[in-house]
Every structure is written in structure tokens, then in C-alpha cells.
Structure 1
């Protein structure tokens, strides 16, 4: 697996990114001014003065409004922001999920629309959000390479692809990054061949939902406390007996973090960073962002890493991370 500077040709990127998805939907409502203040704070403090802050969005978030929200912040701080966005997941009226497209015509069409919504001339990292089973990956990546050659995107990425798909894609063009759900709750990338392929091909790993979709730092004691407008209420890991079982891991991680005088979220994020991945946690509140940013300065000893691995080996995470329909598009 390549370091960020190698994968992105010398770009000096912040070790912690920001996932903007929750600013628009999925994780319940929130104060609009607080959301904007959180994004502004990340750009101001998300990295050292000579680092670019990584902001991750996608056309389908909102749907089709998250890029509009993020756009002005990027425009005003273009030299300070490393902008990543994604295409391929289709949303319909009322936010319905209408499949995936990766055909060349759509790749170029989606890119133009994202550039317009964001109000920028180029995208730093452009991902295929999910692999289109109807379009060979080679065709999709050739279209992305054409966008790269035209200066509309700087780097090509894939999300939740299989190791085989990644290798095929890499024969067409340089893949800079793979985005995958990776956290103390989700480590399947370590055993399904994708992480091995990233290491073999010199590809950076970007870890989304590095806090287990907020489970590690949540205040909920039971499933019933999750708001009805929160997407997590309907995910297998947050339902019924699975929720209760998964809190065992949360409790153990919190105990270890408490001994170090840090938050469980800081422990979890630094664990991901120590795996040489770039975590992109999201939040709608400045106080949580400040806590997340503090993870960069945390030190986890070799002995503590071993203790964490022992926890992962002995406490089994219950429930899939998505429902069956969504899992069908993972590792494709």
C-alpha cells in the first residue's frame, strides 16, 4: 500500500480527512449553521499550514446537494483543499436508489455535473462509487483516464471494488486510491485480498466510516434511542441483539481509551492511521470534529496495538454493515 504522498504524486495531505455525507442526509437532522461552522473549522485546522485538507463528497449525497453545500468552501480555499467526489450511484425522485452506471458516456456526464455543482475547474480525486456490473471496468477507467488527460480530474479512485477488479483497472490507468469501509468494526479488507492488492499496486487506502458509523462514540444505550430519521436505525449492526452484542466491543475500546486519557473515537481513528490508511470521519458538530482532530497526536504502543487486535479476535461483530441489497454491490 502506498503512502499518501506517493499515491498522490507528492501532495502533502492531512492525515485525517473529512467525510461530508452526513451534512446532507442519512444521520438525522442538525443545526445548519453548526454544520457550516464544522466544515469551516476543518478547513482551518484539519492539517498543518503546509498540508491540504481532504474533503470527501459524492454526487448522490443529498441527493445531489452535498456537492453544492461543499462547493463554496472549496472555491474559497482551493489551494488548501484536496477535493474528492464520486459518481455512479443513481438517485431518483424522493431519494430512491436507482442503480449504478459506469458506462463512458455517463462517466463524463457525471463529471461535468459535479464540476458545475462544486463550482471548480477540476476534481483532485474522482472515484467510481460502486462498480457497474453491466460495464467492464476497463471501459469505465478508460473514460476516467480521458477526463484525467483533459485536466478535469487529477487522480482516479475506486470504491468497494474487488481485488480482481482493482487489478484489471490498474492495467488501464494508475489507480491512486481505493475507498473502503475500514474500522475497528470492519476489517474484511484485510482478508478479502483488496488490501493485499493495494500494497502490491502502490495504491492508497481511504477508510470511510472509520468510527463504525458512529457506534464507537455514540451515547445510545439501546436501539430504541436511535432517531427514526437516522439511517443507522435500519442497518443490521444497529438492530436488536446485534446492537447489544456490538456494544461489548465499544465498552472494551472505551476502557482502553480511558486508561490512556483519550476518547474512544481518538483511539479508533489513530488505529486506522497506524494501518497506513487515511480515515475520513464525518460529523455535524464542531466539538466532535475537535475531538477527531486530536487523534493525530495520539500514540498507540506496540503492546496496545496487540491488545486491540486481541479484542478484535475475541469479540465478534454482529450483523452485516448493509442490508442484503446493498451488500450485493460491495467487493464487486
Structure 2
């Protein structure tokens, strides 16, 4: 291990201590084109060396392939890492189908399958990936709490829920972490979820803190850089005129990055850390990457501090973004606010 590891924070009241930045592993198995598995495994090791200890996956990523890919790494470093996975998005042989299931029977089946694929006896943080409003939340969280009592899960998490839903769930069983999209481009969580998490002592785990890569500045040319198999080709913010408009919004990001000798990605990640800190939140962004160089770039952002003037210059960006963050927003918390 190196001496220059990132700081740590507590994941929820009394939860595990983890590095202040985690690693989202989704892109290793799907959604962003082909993966060099050797490079991806090297990135996992580099992350741990840098002090990244929260590794995030889900049963839906690659239809279980992501969990299976992580299993050898988990086994080699089980006592050093905090392992998070999720249930709730159901896939079938239909490549475009995405269902949402939160019923207790499904939860029981899902956790057993994840434990088997990850080759571990316990999941450190188990998230409900998406909420099915037709299933009472107390029923779903009650089933998740039973997994804690059985020793199959250590901490519970939720993803894409409103502040009211977080409070309701927390009353059934303590919630350690809330994982939802939060970035310079996506701030709808600030309507209610952020305040509720701060009030309850729930850690916030922002996914897509780099706007699926847009905030790196790499997509200025209307998404032409995207390769076959990259799901961003269908994302509204990456297409046509939306992409051109959104690229223009990054001017202050690039200006601030230049002033610090940093990258646009580092400014975007530093903004998430400081924005959450201003709300009194423990925060662990989980940018995803398959490359060691990007991992080290992202980790370095934990040491970047933006001035009040720079934060003010970045403030208007989200309100001007063209296009929703998903083609279908119906399963996000924004749809239920």
C-alpha cells in the first residue's frame, strides 16, 4: 500500500469507514463498449492501493457478469474492502427490457444469487436499485432487514428515492447509504433527498458524478466519439444539438481546471465533494473507470479545493443542461417528487 492514500469517511451512522471516493464497476462488464479485462483488474488493484475501499456493483450489470468478474478481487482482499451490490432491476432475454421488482420473494432470490456470483458469505452494503411504487416500501425494507438479521447483509442502502421515501425506509431499518445521481449536470436530489440524508445521518453515494463522462469535456462534438455498444448513444444529453449545448456549458469548468492545473473531471468531482460537505453529508462519489490513469486522476480530485468564487461560477450549470439524464425518467426519484 502507498503512503499517499485518500482520506476516509463513515458510511452512515456507525457504518464502515471507507475512502472518500469509491469505484463504480458497472462499465467493466457492459454499457461502455469492449473492456480490456487485464487493464480492468489492474485498475481495481490501483484503486485499493490509493485508498479506494468501496467497490460498487449490481446484479443487473452484465446480467451478473460484473459480480462474477469482481469475485476473485473480492476474495483476495475481502477484509480490506467494502463491497456493495444491488437488486431491483430485472432483465430477461429481451435485451431492451428493464423491469423493477421489490417484492420480498424476489429480494430473497436476488441476494442468494449475488452471494453466489460474488463468492462471498456477506454483502457489506445491499441496495434497492430502483423503487417499485406498487410494492409497499416498508415491505421491501422489512425483507432487506431480515437479510441483516440472517447475516447475509451488513448494511442497507437505497437508490433513486425521494426524501420522504428515505425517511419512511429509515423508520423500518437504519439506512446506511443513499445512492443517486448527483453532479454538476444533475441536481434533482437536492429537492428533498439530500436534506433527508443529512437529517438522518445517511451517507450519500453519488453515481455518475462525471455525468457519464460528459463533465470530462470529452464529448464536445455531438457524441461522435462514442463507439458501438456504448449506451450513451441513446442518452438525451449526448445526442445532436443537446450535446453541443451542453459542451458549451463546460466553459467555467475548463477555466477553473486551468487555474488549478487540474482536469475538468477533477473539478467536477471536487464540486460534488464540497457541495455535499456544505449540506453536512458524508459523501462517497463512485466515478467509474476501467483505466489506471483515469482512476489516479479521479482520486487526485479528493485533494482539490474550489474557492467560493469558483463554486459560484459553477452554480448555474445544472439549470441550463439540455436533455434528461435518461430517455425514460419514470423509475427515478425525480419522477416521484
Deviation, structure 1 residue 73: 0.5
Is the Cα–Cα contact under 8 Å of residues 183 and 207 in structure 1 kept in the other structure? Answer: yes
**For residues 214-253 of structure 1, what are the structure 2 equivalents within 5 Å?**
214-220=213-219, 221-253=221-253
**Structure 2 counterpart of 1:316, from 315, 320, 329:** 320
Task: Write the deviation string for residues 121-147 of structure 1: whole angstroms up to 9, x where unpaired.
Answer: 111100000012231111100011110
Between 1:197-206 and 1:143-152, the stretch displaced more is 197-206
TM-score norm. by structure 1 comes to: 0.92
Deviation, structure 1 residue 222: 2.7
Is the Cα–Cα contact under 8 Å of residues 215 and 250 in structure 1 kept in the other structure? Answer: no
Measure the CA separation in 2 of the matches of 1:319 and 1:82.
34
Alignment partner of 1:196: what SS? Answer: helix
1:21 aligned onto 2:33: no
Number of residue equivalences: 320
Is the Cα–Cα contact under 8 Å of residues 10 and 16 in structure 2 kept in the other structure? Answer: yes
**For residues 5-16 of structure 1, what are the structure 2 equivalents within 5 Å?**
5=10, 7-9=12-14, 11-16=16-21
Deviation, structure 1 residue 239: 0.9
1:50 corresponding residue in structure 2: none
Alignment partner of 2:127: what SS? Answer: strand
**Structure 1 counterpart of 2:330, from 305, 328, 331:** 328
Is the Cα–Cα contact under 8 Å of residues 58 and 67 in structure 1 kept in the other structure? Answer: yes
Detail structure 1 runs of 4+ shifted over 4 Å in the superposition.
Answer: none
2:5 corresponding residue in structure 1: none
Alignment partner of 1:151: what SS? Answer: coil
1:37 aligned onto 2:37: no
Is the Cα–Cα contact under 8 Å of residues 217 and 247 in structure 2 kept in the other structure? Answer: no
Deviation, structure 1 residue 6: 6.2
TM-score norm. by structure 2 comes to: 0.91
1:55 corresponding residue in structure 2: 55
Measure the CA separation in 1 of the matches of 2:173 and 2:289.
33
Aligned CA-pair RMSD: 1.7
Alignment partner of 2:69: what SS? Answer: helix
Measure the CA separation in 2 of the matches of 1:206 and 1:115.
22
Structure 1: segments with no counterpart, 5+ residues: 48-52
Deviation, structure 1 residue 74: 1.1
Measure the CA separation in 2 of the matches of 1:328 and 1:55.
27
Measure the CA separation in 2 of the matches of 1:199 and 1:282.
25
Alignment partner of 2:296: what SS? Answer: helix
2:207 corresponding residue in structure 1: 208
Alignment partner of 1:78: what SS? Answer: coil
Is the Cα–Cα contact under 8 Å of residues 9 and 19 in structure 2 kept in the other structure? Answer: no
Alignment partner of 1:156: what SS? Answer: strand
Task: Write the deviation string for residues 202-223 of structure 1: whole angstroms up to 9, x where unpaired.
Answer: 2111100000100011433232
